[in-house]
Chains A and B, each alone.
Chain A
Amino acid sequence: MIEEIEKIADVSDSNFIFKQNIFWSLEGERKKESREIVYYSNKCSGCRFCVYACPVNAISSYSEQPFILIDHTICCFCGICSSLCPDRAIEFRIDGVKKEPFVVYKGAEKLESCAGCAVCYTICPANAVKIKPILKIDDIHEREFGKNGTLRIDLEKCKKCGRCTLFCDALVAVVDEGIVNILFNEDRCDYCGLCEEVCPNKAIEVVSEYKVEKVGIKKVVDIEIENCIECGLCEISCPYDGVKVHKSIEGEIKVNWRRLEKYCDWESCRMCINICKSKAWYVEEGKLKLKTELCRFCRACMYVCPEKLIEVKVKSINCTPEWSSYKLAINRVLNEKTAELSRSWLLEGDE
């Protein structure tokens, strides 16, 4: 028999943790189950999937961070919001154990052809790529500055991946929406030549009075893709076709460009640019532009655009749950419908 249900909210900053403790007696023994919902506002893209998925309508949404607020007194701690969150911004735990979501956002997949460069690492808007371990020169070699030699970067071969810059601070990346050039800082180089081994495309050539014995640096490094938001930027940018992004959300984005021309004041508004996690909205030659291939149909820009110039339709979320109410929750998300209790006015008579 259930004896007590305790709900605790801990809203310290824009992140929050809710807890529910249930105490019940079973065969004379008092038992406890605790459930936790943790919201990471920095991960949240403002897509409102959770708002529609919530079966008890406990989540309200806002146009700025934190994009959502959960009413913990209404929340039933079922975890559907966490399951459907494409940003993994909501975590759900039962007795400390993370519950596996029923929607699996597959995200980016590293392919055989990955050369182990670091383009994805540098450009990923969600910091989802982790290179492990990031080998630094100082870990394997003690530099003796003042040696003579030359270091030449073959600009035709260099794919501006920046792998070398992560390895050694003698090489510096010039960044402007991705790496545009690699500069060489003579003062930090002892012409050991280890960077030759690091470059995936053999674009660096070092001639020096001494050579350090090659240590056999693994060129292909392990990339861990956590927190991937499926924007697809890495796939577009990868110089080696080494990554495939499985977009779990299919949809359509329509922009009324003619009205946008007339009414959009992006210079002072920038709502869409700021909210878009995948950086699909950008400015070029003084004009607001959209890279459709990067759009992940999260609808966040549609919700915040003050002039309602954007229309996003989510057509499907790639998952086939067996449980009927999960299907219904997905349908609510697709159709932007919140779970409403029909005939609810009759409940006023429920004592």
Chain B
Amino acid sequence: MKIGVFVCKCGVNIAGVVDVEKIAEVARNEGCFSEVLDYACSKAGQDEIAKKIKEEKLDAIVIAACTPKLHESTFRKLAEKSGLNPYRVVMANIREQCTWVHDKNKETQEKAEELTLMAINRVRKSKNLKKSKLRVKRKVLVIGGGVAGIETSLLLANSGIDVVLVEKQPSIGGHMALLNEIFPNNDCSICVLSPKMSEVWENEKISVYTNSEVTSISGYAGNFKVKIKVNPRYVNEECKGCIEDCSSICPITVYDEFLGTFRKAIYLPFPQSTPLYAKIDSESCIRCDMCIKACEPKAIDFSQKPEFFELDVGAIVIATGYSLFNPKLKPEFRFGEKGVITLLELERLLSPSSKIKFEDLFKNSPKVAFIQCVGSRDLSTNKHCSVVCCMASIKNAVILKRRYNANVTIFYTDIRACGYEEYYRKAMEIGVKFIRAKPVVEEVKDRVVLKYEDTLLGRVLKEEFDLVVLAVGMMGVDGEFVEVVHPKLKPVESLSPGIFVAGCASGPKDIRDSINSAGLAAAKVFEFMECAELEPYNAFVLPELCVGCKVCERACPSNAIKVSDKAEIVKEACRMCGLCVSLCPNNAIDQGFYSNEELFAEISAVSPGKVIVFACNYCAYSALDLAGALRLKYNECVRVIRIPCSVRVSSKMIVEAMKKSKGVVLAGCRIGECHFGVNEYAKERLEKLRSNLGKEGFRLKGIWCSANEAEKIVKEIEEFVKIVNS
């Protein structure tokens, strides 16, 4: 087998710290063809590699350059074009995990050489693998009927794909349907949205389920099984949407947090609700049953029960949007007391469909303060910026100024009017005051007293206002936003194949960006339906070794394994975590690209006295790459081996690594946040091993961190290195 090794200088990124020629030399001593390139990823670099693959008749290549997360796919494509199997490419990460994190010295040079050697050893054992075509059901589940869900559904339906749209609220429309006017051109929010809402309702390709929830998702990309629960409305389809007769007699008024205003127990969320059926909220309805008599079409039906049904879909789009930060968690703003409201509540007061009018509450050019970043950009609550609140406040300030001649002050941290700078300028011109401060509510009497430090003037001041509006931040529906594969390059792909994310579900966005991401999600779904392929990393059974013990069947988190006589693995369902591979007592299961042979070969190239870190591809490996980007230094003795998930590493593999090294670290996602939901198992295995190893147990450590916890993983590795060296 002839192996080609290409060492990238990456300008001074690599060549400035280590001697690249020497690395090439080491590879040559191993019997490989080797060459140094200025930028391996550039056109010139790629052309050179392609040329050499042909000229030298290479069977496999090693690229010693940056992290595989960045360019593995680039070089795989290049290999394929040059007639090489794309899985015969292995990258040695000598930038993020070597030259960026170590100083220029002998140990660093040694490490770069050894990382290359490990890659050479690994590539020797590599096999020809092939992606497989996935058969995808041409039906999509869109979860969430806000503006993003609506846009995605329409785009997909118009492309001829069946869509099932599931919305939790009684009407589609989401938060956008509740807004008054929207920036930048101040058109009426519901006026631009409601035509789309009716289009969705009337589209034959879209089945809309409002008042419904997705209770479970099983199966695999291309063939998901979803369970949907339709909650009772207690109003049947005879309802004409007149709402006046039933709601006027309903004795119960409640404050609806989602709507940001009051409603009766029987209600339509807003006049343009789609579908136009009232709903009875069983939490507030007291069953006085007066509406039954008041409803002429006899639409009220308290005998309704929740309904459940199952669906098969090929792909899923999560468009669940956001929830608002609860301002009560910041007691300094005294939310709940008179005169303190949220931005959503203000939107509702200003909305033409609201029964409570702003002008009735606040007369004669009131004094209004906006406090920005309540529950955003705040270390004690949410660190992220909620993106829309600056512009939403400025827009409302302009409306208040124009409609009610209000005296408006915006207290900001930084104004982030990206893309709408002229709107911000206009607001200043018409007299909206901007003060850089984060006030606290000091007193609530007839008026609200704010105390603040103007950080530009450096003075502490007090001022009275009639109304204080809290620009509360956006949060994920269950507190966290949905994680995507890459925030810039793959912003709508979730970590599970076949599941995409649109709109605010993956992070705060304004309406324009939500529409953008919804469009991209639809395009990605379409692409997935047309040409989805499976990476060949799946686990497979070696039938001659399998004894049918069923250990794998019980452990598989995706229910992909069935054992009758021998184990059989459904390739499409396998999510490629490698748990079964590590568990099989007879080594009868192996995995593509992360095979036992390849990983043991990689371990065998590590020289004695080092620390081996098995890092899961999702979190720990990314965290270590991030440490590189942040130039967080750590000891040169660390050798990182990439694995698909922490459960992939078998006890045997750990023991083997411990024989070769001073210490072994198993690094994976935070416990409970594993992408396959199994890393508790890895932790348990590690702890058992530690206790079985007795005195030697201290040489084994687990680190559980998220992809952005670079500082944490570096700190823990450093501590561990100190312990094993002492």
Contact = CB atoms under 8 A, between A and B. Distances in A.
Interface of A: 1-2, 5, 22, 24, 26-27, 31, 33, 55-56, 76-80, 323-326, 328-329, 341-351
A56 B356 contact: no
B293 A76 contact: no
30 contacts: A1-B296, A2-B248, A2-B294, A5-B249, A26-B296, A55-B252, A55-B286, A56-B251, A77-B288, A78-B251, A78-B288, A323-B285, A325-B282, A325-B286, A328-B283, A341-B254, A341-B255, A343-B255, A343-B345, A345-B338, A346-B261, A346-B349, A346-B356, A347-B262, A349-B357, A349-B361, A350-B262, A350-B360, A351-B355, A351-B357
B341 interface: yes
Interface of B: 245, 248-249, 251-255, 261-262, 265, 282-288, 290, 293-294, 296, 336, 338, 341, 345, 349, 355-358, 360-361
Contact of B294 (A24, A323, A329, A347): A24
A342 B253 CA distance: 10
A55 B252 CA distance: 8
A351 B345 CA distance: 17
Nearest to A5: B249
Nearest to B359: A349
B245 A1 contact: yes
B251 A342 contact: no
Contacts of A5: 249
Contacts of A78: 251, 286-288
Nearest to A351: B360
B266 to A, nearest CB: 12
Given A1-B245, A24-B293, A346-B349, 10 more contacts: A33-B293, A55-B286, A56-B251, A76-B288, A77-B251, A323-B287, A324-B283, A346-B345, A348-B360, A350-B262
A329 B253 CA distance: 15
Contact of A325 (B251, B261, B284): B284
Nearest to A27: B296
A331 B57 CA distance: 78
Contacts of A2: 245, 248-249, 294
Contacts of B293: 22, 24, 26, 31, 33
Contacts of A348: 360-361
A344 B245 CA distance: 24
B466 to A, nearest CB: 13
B286 A80 contact: yes
A76 B291 CA distance: 13
Nearest to A343: B255
Nearest to B361: A349
Nearest to B245: A1
Contacts, number: 88
A346 B262 contact: yes
Contacts of A1: 245, 294, 296
A78 B284 CA distance: 12
B361 A323 contact: no
Given A77-B288, A325-B284, A346-B262, A56 B355 contact: no
Nearest to B246: A2
Interface of A is mostly: mixed
A342 B290 CA distance: 24
A22 B290 contact: yes
A350 B251 contact: no
A-B pairs, 6 with minimum CB distance: A76-B251, A349-B361, A78-B288, A349-B360, A349-B356, A324-B282
A329 B245 CA distance: 26
Nearest to B338: A345
B245 A56 contact: no
Contacts of B261: 346
A157 B296 CA distance: 70
Nearest to A102: B287
B262 A56 contact: no
A288 to B, nearest CB: 40
Contacts of A346: 261-262, 341, 345, 349, 356, 361
B248 A342 contact: no
Nearest to B294: A2
A79 B293 CA distance: 17
Contacts of A349: 349, 356-358, 360-361
Nearest to A26: B296
Nearest to B362: A349
Contacts of B286: 55, 76, 78, 80, 325, 329
B341 A323 contact: no
Nearest to A77: B288
A113 to B, nearest CB: 40
A332 to B, nearest CB: 12
Contacts of A323: 282, 285, 287
Contacts of B336: 342-343
Nearest to A345: B338
A129 B261 CA distance: 52
A347 B251 CA distance: 15
Nearest to B265: A325
B168 to A, nearest CB: 16
A341 B254 CA distance: 6
A33 B360 CA distance: 36
A184 to B, nearest CB: 58
A77 B356 CA distance: 26
A350 B356 contact: yes
Contacts of A345: 338
A351 B360 CA distance: 8
Contacts of A328: 283
A339 to B, nearest CB: 9
Question: Taking each of A77, A78, A344, which has the highest tally of chain B beta carbons within 10 Å of its own beta carbon?
Answer: A78
Given A346-B341, A347-B262, A79 B356 contact: no
Contacts of A326: 287
A56 B252 contact: yes
A77 B293 CA distance: 14
Nearest to A94: B289
Contacts of B284: 55, 325
Contacts of B249: 2, 5, 22
B281 to A, nearest CB: 8
Contacts of A324: 282-283
Contacts of B360: 348-351
A341 B288 contact: no
A175 B669 CA distance: 77
Contacts of A56: 251-252
A26 B296 CA distance: 7
A80 B284 CA distance: 13
Given A56-B252, A342-B336, A346-B356, A325 B283 contact: yes
A155 B261 CA distance: 74
Contacts of A55: 251-252, 284, 286
Contacts of B356: 346-347, 349-350
Nearest to B345: A346
A76 B282 contact: no
Contacts of A31: 293
A27 B245 CA distance: 14
A344 to B, nearest CB: 8
A82 to B, nearest CB: 12
